[in-house]
Amino acid sequence: MMKTCPNCKGRNVTELVWGCPSKEFLERSFNENDDLFVKIAAMIGGDDYLKVARSLQKIQHRTEEEISKSTGLRVNRVRRALFDMFGKGIIEGVRTVDKPKENFVYRWHSNKKKIMKFIKDNHLSAGSGLIEYPEFSCDDCNQHFGHQRFN
């Protein structure tokens, strides 16, 4: 079955041996306090996602600006990670009113049930504490994708 890149619609897609980020990155990035949510976030998007997930692991219901301050990442990079994790169904956002500014903000948090559903839906194995799944790369646009992103 020929795979098509969901980003550029190119057909030059190859399976990576372990994926991006690398297995070495994941092994050196995790510590004993990281839960399954942090590990999955790091597998999906690497270092930025890892920082955002750890920030949410420490304190739930944070805004983008609060996560940005705690991680040192720019707000647009935090938003990109949050929206991607939201699209994959491993976090939730609740819209609230910010009293001082009187505008709407989203407060983000992880949900253990959604994480377990993500693992089941994508046929991941979490038994060993390290999650493995096939990863693909498009040679035309240099994007990395998990197998769940293909039709």
The confidence score (pLDDT) of residue 21 equals 56
In a domain, 46, yes or no: yes
Number of CB atoms found within 10 A of residue 113's CB: 7
User: 91-98 and 103-110 as β-strands: parallel, antiparallel, unpaired?
Assistant: antiparallel
CATH at residue 104 = 1.10.10.10
| Calpha distance 141→5 (Å, rounded) | 9
What is the mean pLDDT of each successive set of 10 residues along the chain, which is 151 residues long? 68 58 62 80 85 91 93 94 91 88 88 84 58 64 56 29
Q: By the 8 A CB rule, do 83 and 106 touch? A: no
Q: By the 8 A CB rule, do 144 and 10 touch? A: no
Of 115, 151, 119, which is closest to residue 133 (Cα–Cα)?
Answer: 119
In a domain, 146, yes or no: no
Query: pTM of the full predicted structure?
Result: 0.66
| Calpha distance 32→38 (Å, rounded) | 11
In a domain, 49, yes or no: yes
The residue count of the chain comes to 151
The total number of structural domains that make up the chain: 1
What is the domain extent for residue 93?
Answer: 34-131
* Residue in the block written with tokens 């559903």: 117
The confidence score (pLDDT) of residue 28 equals 65
The confidence score (pLDDT) of residue 151 equals 29
